[in-house]
Amino acid sequence: MDQCKTAYRSHNCGALRLDNAGETVTLSGFLENFREVGAGLGFAVLRDFYGVTQVVCETEDMVKAFKALNKESTVQVTGLVRERDSKNPKLPTGDIEVVPSALTVLGKCRHNELPFQVSRSREADETARLKYRYLDLRNPEVKGNIILRSQVIAALRASMIDHGFMEITTPILTASSPEGARDYLVPSRKHPGKFYALPQAPQQFKQLLMASGFDKYFQIAPCFRDEDARGDRSPGEFYQLDMEMAFASQEDVFAVLEDVLPPIFAKYGKYDTASPAPFLRIPYLEAMEKYGSDKPDLRIDLTVADATGLLAECGFEPFAGNTVKAVVVSDFEGTRKQIDKLCADVEVQAGSKAYWFRMDESGELVGGISKFVQEKKDEVVKTLGLKPNTFVGLSAGPKGAAQKTAGVLVKMLGAFCPNHFNKERYEFCWIVDFPMYEIGEESGALEFCHNPFSMPSGGLEVLDKAAKGALDPLAITADQYDLVCNGVELSSGAVRNHDPEIMVEAFRLVGLGEEDVKSKFPAMYNAFTYGAPPHAGIAPGVDRMVMLLAGEDSIREIIPFPMNKNAQDLMMSAPSEVTQAQLDELHIAVTAHEEE
pLDDT band for 594, please (50, 70, 90 cuts): low
pTM: 0.91
357 neighbors 339 (Cβ within 8 angstroms)? no
- CA gap 231, 234 in Å, rounded: 8
Residue 513 has pLDDT above 60, yes or no: yes
Least confidently predicted of 169-178, 354-363, 364-373: 169-178
Residue 3 has pLDDT above 80, yes or no: no
Helix (H) / strand (E) containing 80 = strand 74-83
Q: How many residues does the chain have?
A: 596
Which DSSP category does 337 fall into? Answer: H
- Residue 541's pLDDT is what? 95
pLDDT in tens, 206-223: 999 999 999 999 999 999
Q: Higher-confidence residue: 4 or 345? A: 345
Which DSSP category does 182 fall into? Answer: P
Q: Output the 3-class SS for 287-312.
A: HHHHHCCCCCCCCECCCEEECHHHHC
pLDDT band for 577, please (50, 70, 90 cuts): very high
- Residue 547's pLDDT is what? 96
E strand map for 188-322: 195-197, 216-225, 236-246, 280-283, 304-306
Q: How many CB atoms lie within 10 A of CB 339?
A: 19
- Residue 453's pLDDT is what? 86
- CA gap 486, 262 in Å, rounded: 13
pLDDT in tens, 266-320: 999 999 889 999 999 999 999 999 999 999 999 999 999 999 999 999 999 999 9
428 neighbors 483 (Cβ within 8 angstroms)? yes
E strand map for 398-462: 428-432, 437-439, 446-448
- Position 450, amino acid: H
Residue 458 has pLDDT above 80, yes or no: yes
Query: What are the distances in angstroms from CA 256 to CA 219, 240, 253, 352, 426?
Result: 15, 16, 5, 40, 18
- Which domains, ranges and CATH numbers included, belong to the chain? 18-107 (2.40.50.140), 141-200+216-275+538-583 (3.30.930.10), 300-421 (3.30.1360.30), 435-477+499-532 (no CATH)
Q: Higher-confidence residue: 547 or 3? A: 547
Strands 428-432 and 355-359: unpaired
Q: How many CB atoms lie within 10 A of CB 34?
A: 21
